[in-house]
Structure 1
Amino acid sequence: MNAPLLLSLVLLHNCVVGHEVYDWDVLLTATKKSDIIPIGKLNCVDSLDDLMNYTVHIAWEQFKTEFDRHYSDTKEYAERMDAFCRSFLRVREHNKAYEAGQVTFKTGINEFSDWLPKERENICGGHVPVNLSNHSGARFRKIAAPPPKSIDWRTKGAVTPIRKQGSCGSCWAFASAAAVEGHAYIHNDRLEV
């Protein structure tokens, strides 16, 4: 085991771990702090190895510049950076799964990447389930050939980028507009309605 890792483990034990008991296999095979400390124990950035810590800091500075972020005090700054770090790691992991063919879409950093969970809950709430049992009058025309197993309209240009909706409760309007644009593309080869 190299000396810097051993020193950081000793300091980590004295400063953070205290009297917690860990499985010996975890302690004997650890190669970085995050092997021992779950992300919830410390803030996100403190749980990273040096390279990822550096990467997150560079991304954080770019995020603040690109989205013109300024925070009122050091407490808010720390909370927002922690939220950004978690978002950044979640995006990295998801996109690794995309590259491996395990999921069908990529995610990215956007203006919501420093939002706290309570802020996300406020904007994502209000879902009202629809009872489709009352809609029995649907009619479908028969098709001559069986449809393909799948169609990815994103690769064909029929899907527009996500738009900033704010928190006015108009998500239904944005979804409707995107559906109409996609329909227009499928039938007219252009997104404009």
Structure 2
Amino acid sequence: MTVAVFLAILCLRAALAAPRPDYSLDAEWEEWKRNNAKTYSPEEEKQRRAVWEENVKMIKWHTMQNGLWMNNFTIEMNEFGDMTGEEMRMMTDSSALTLRNGKHIQKRNVKIPKTLDWRDTGCVAPVRSQGGCGACWAFSVAASIESQLFKKTGKLIPLSVQNLIDCTVTYGNNDCSGGKPYTAFQYVKNNGGLEAEATYPYEAKLRHCRYRPERSVVKIARFFVVPRNEEALMQALVTYGPIAVAIDGSHASFKRYRGGIYHEPKCRSNIINHGVLLVGYGYEGRESDGRKYWLIKNSHGEGWGMNGYMKIARGRNNDCGIATYALYPIV
């Protein structure tokens, strides 16, 4: 057998082994690309189309399970439809999240309402999008400080996530590859301030630190770590306001969440990799039904989930690690 014939056979085998597109999905694929402003080179389109089709199958399977009452939440095709599981994991924090010593001030005789939504008070800023930068940790920290600033001054000022990305590298954070909310809070406290989004806008990539003290709009006096249980988390949320938390957000069902109370069987309470803001809690149906949830604000834009928010199962053994890593500042 000549080399040319041998190579031809290999090419034929590769072509036969390559997944063929499902042509019945052509119109849906083109519509999805238009709606999400996606453009590719010819070779990249083949690869992205294959990933997208696998995600379509996964969503259809989940929807079928919903029909059999196997799930309590829905997922949908969104802007992340052409991303692999590994690419989506890169959008979450790659750094291991650990806490140092911190003391939460637990007050006595706190009245706990049946439901709570801090958005109703006006202290939660609009949802933003981190894009392809794994800076959820910075969005979570900035959002919690925004809420505390509003509670103190009545002014809701979007704070600079970019300031945190650029200036906490020396604290051990890894900019768009992950970071620790604890050290971000340390930076703001030690630095004596944080700029606003208006003066230090988000660029979704690491730049050199350009913080200017005269442009600082907020300082934090101290910050606290909440004990790792849902009861303490609820009391802190009621007493102090929105809280920066971290969860296991590494699953495909999380990235494509649409609505309902999220409960992913694969979620781990000891593996946390995505920073979000806890803004409330409640229940669906009758309180006795046990369909209780935590309400979180994500940083994937308003097109994700419930206009940028998600309900996570509450009272189910620290589901997805909601109470594992929780902090709040005092301004």
Tell me which structure has the larger Cα radius of gyration.
Answer: 1
Structure (1 or 2) with the greater strand fraction: 2
Q: Which has the higher contact order (CA 8 A, sep 6+)?
A: 2
TM-score with structure 1 length normalisation? 0.49
Structure (1 or 2) with the greater helix fraction: 1
TM-score with structure 2 length normalisation? 0.32
